[in-house]
Chains A and B, each alone.
Chain A
Amino acid sequence: MNIFLSPDNRRWATVMAVVLILSLSWTFLSRVPASATTNGELPASPREGFPAPDLTLDQLGGGQVTLSQLRGKVVMINLWASWCAPCRIEMPAIEKVYRAYKDQGFVVLGVNSTFQDSEPDAIAFVQEMNLTFPILLDRSGSVSHRYQLRALPSTYFVDRKGVIRVAVFGSMNEALIESKVAELIKEIR
């Protein structure tokens, strides 16, 4: 017979009271200011809830793009390569959503993993797919390294404050892209 089946109510009440007092005390002792957890400042890291690591890359066609200069806009960072079949599958959907939302402050940064691709192949891919969003060239692999790239495609939806809200590894469908973009566009600056 254990305490739960015991007819001794007082014994049970004592056990319950001790357990609850210990729990409450521990809860009280482990209070922390909001800044001690992710409620406060966080290091840039390629994961949901963290500020997106900054990047500056050459753009196909000339010029440079810096992520931090796009603060205030909803940014989708898509890492791709021309030889990657799932990248090819999702590109038309990305382009379609980009065209639908670009006037509402939505930017796509198509980061080509140039260090494991080739510029001529990347250019041919962009022309074949009729892509109109900025294509950035990661020639040294530094951005792929910072974003801990392990699978292509990898996509990060970054909100207006520069925080990664959703990370998707693998091919995306149109509804997924549009729903995430619509959600972030709705948010007030």
Chain B
Amino acid sequence: MLPFIQLGPFTLQAPGLALLIGVWIGLSLSEKEAIKLKLDPNQIYNLIFYGLVAGVVGARLGYALQYPRAYLDSPWSLVALTPNTLAPEIGLLFAIIAALIYGKRQKMLLRPTLDAFAPGLAAFMVSFGVAHFMSGDAFGAPTKLPWAIYLWDDFRHPSQVYETLAALIILLVVWRRPLGQRGGGVNFLWVIALSAAMRIFLEAFRGDSVIWVGGFRAAQVSGVVVLAVSLWLMRRWSHSASTVEEKLIIQTKGDS
């Protein structure tokens, strides 16, 4: 566990740094994938960039609107580099809206664009696991297994290690593209389905699960729904994959 690194007077949040590296690697992989898919890598880069900027701005504004008095007293705090003063849900909403507006203006095709994101998203998930390991979040249930780690006053499943390894496997699977799809959106759904399956399986070893009625773990129930929807969409999209491929080819020919 390494929640922060002290560099003289500066405190570097190690989990935040891991996520930042994840975004950077994810962005690079998505650009490479875009080239493979004959998409404009600059468009993909800009889409993610605008989404991230809108997400951060939205998250801070959303937080400030919840506590207007605090920000009226100290307006400069709006631009402070403090991750504790962000409203993630509002940030996500802003990011999606910004990405949709940019994508629409640039006339980007949804499914090939999603496919370009697939390896980037998988890489980001790896950094998510690493960030959890550094912060000690998403910790495991107590266990007596020989590979247990001592964390939060108990020997626990190294759930963050499980999560990171599983995410690495998903990244390798997606990178090798076993489905052979090209721009049909199925590869993106493959990442979502595999991530949902991973979460359903690994949640059983977590010690911080939110428990719903009947002792069901909230993340597993949500995971089953996400898995079912992604599998259903995979089937639907795979039927019309060739149409998308044709569109791509026509667009590429038109561009040249």
* A and B physically associate: yes
A34 proximity list for chain B (CB < 8 A):
211, 215
A24 within 8 A of B: yes
- CA–CA, A182 to B85, complex, Å? 13
Q: How many residue pairs between the two chains, A and B, have CB atoms under 8 Å in the bound complex?
A: 150
Contact A150/B6 with A43-B154, A179-B85 known, Cβ cut-off 8 Å: yes
Give the distance in Å from the alpha carbon of A64 to the alpha carbon of B71 in the complex. 35
A182–B204 touching, CB < 8 Å = no
Asked whether A168 lies within 8 Å of B77 as measured between CB atoms, the reply is no
CB distance from B81 to the nearest CB of A (A): 9
A141 to B86, CA, bound (A): 33
- How close is B241's CB to chain A, nearest CB, in angstroms? 7
- Cβ-defined contact, A26 with B204, below 8 A: yes
Identify which of residues 180-218 in chain B touch chain A, using a CB-to-CB cut-off of 8 Å: 180-181, 186, 197, 200-201, 203-204, 206-211, 214-217
Q: Which residue of B lies closest to A16 (CB)?
A: B231
Q: Are A169 and B217 closer than 8 Å at their CB atoms?
A: no
Residue-wise interface mask of A (28-41) relative to B, using a CB-CB cutoff of 8 A (1 in contact, 0 not) = 11111110111100
- Residues from chain A with a CB closer than 8 A to the CB of B238 are 4-5
Chain B residues within 8 Å of chain A by Cβ, number: 60
A177 to chain B, nearest CB (A): 8
- Given A23-B223, A27-B216, A182-B67, are A32 and B209 neighbors across the interface (CB < 8 Å)? yes
Does residue A99 face the partner (Cβ distance < 8 Å to B)?
Answer: no
Please determine whether A174 and B73 come into contact, CB atoms closer than 8 angstroms.
yes
Distance in Å: Cβ of A157 to nearest Cβ of chain B: 10
Report chain B residues within 8 Å CB of A24: 224
* Residue of A16, A168, A173, A174 with highest tally of chain B CB at under 10 A: A173
Chain A: minimal CB distance from B117 (Å): 19
Indicate whether A124 reaches chain B with its CB closer than 8 angstroms.
Answer: no
Contact across chains for A179 and B63 when beta carbons are under 8 A apart:
yes
- Give every chain B residue within 8 A of A115 (Cβ-Cβ): none
Contact A19 B197 (CB under 8 A): yes
- CB of B207, distance to nearest CB on chain A (Å): 6
Which residues, 222 to 242 on B, are CB-close (under 8 Å) to A? 223-224, 227-228, 231-232, 234-235, 238, 241
**Chain A contacts for B197, CB-based, 8 A:** 19, 23
Nearest to A42 among chain B residues (CB) is B152
A179 and B67 contact, CB distance less than 8 A: yes
- The smallest C-beta distance from B65 to any residue of chain A, in angstroms, reads 11
Q: Is B85 in contact with A176, judged by CB distance below 8 angstroms?
A: yes
Report chain A residues within 8 Å CB of B200: 23, 26-27
B146 touches A (CB below 8 Å)? no
Chain A residue nearest to B209 in the complex (CB): A37
A172 at the interface (CB under 8 A from B): yes
User: Could you tell me if B82 and A4 are in contact, using CB atoms closer than 8 angstroms?
Assistant: no
| Chain A, Cβ-Cβ closest to B3 | A169
Measured between beta carbons, the chain A residues less than 8 angstroms from B241 are 5
**B67 and A183 within 8 A (CB):** yes
Given A2-B179, A179-B85: A169 in contact with B11 (beta carbons within 8 A): yes
Per the bound structure, the CA–CA distance linking A34 and B213 in Å amounts to 9
Selected A-B contacts with CB under 8 Å, 7 pairs: A5-B180, A36-B211, A39-B211, A170-B4, A173-B82, A179-B67, A179-B70
With A26-B204, A182-B67 given, name 5 new contacts (CB 8 A).
A23-B197, A27-B223, A30-B203, A174-B77, A175-B64
Closest 6 CB pairs of A and B: A175-B77, A170-B11, A30-B204, A31-B215, A179-B67, A178-B70
Residues of B within 8 A of A (CB): 3-4, 6, 9-11, 13, 63-64, 66-67, 69-71, 73-74, 76-78, 80, 82, 84-85, 136, 141, 152-154, 178-181, 186, 197, 200-201, 203-204, 206-211, 214-217, 220-221, 223-224, 227-228, 231-232, 234-235, 238, 241
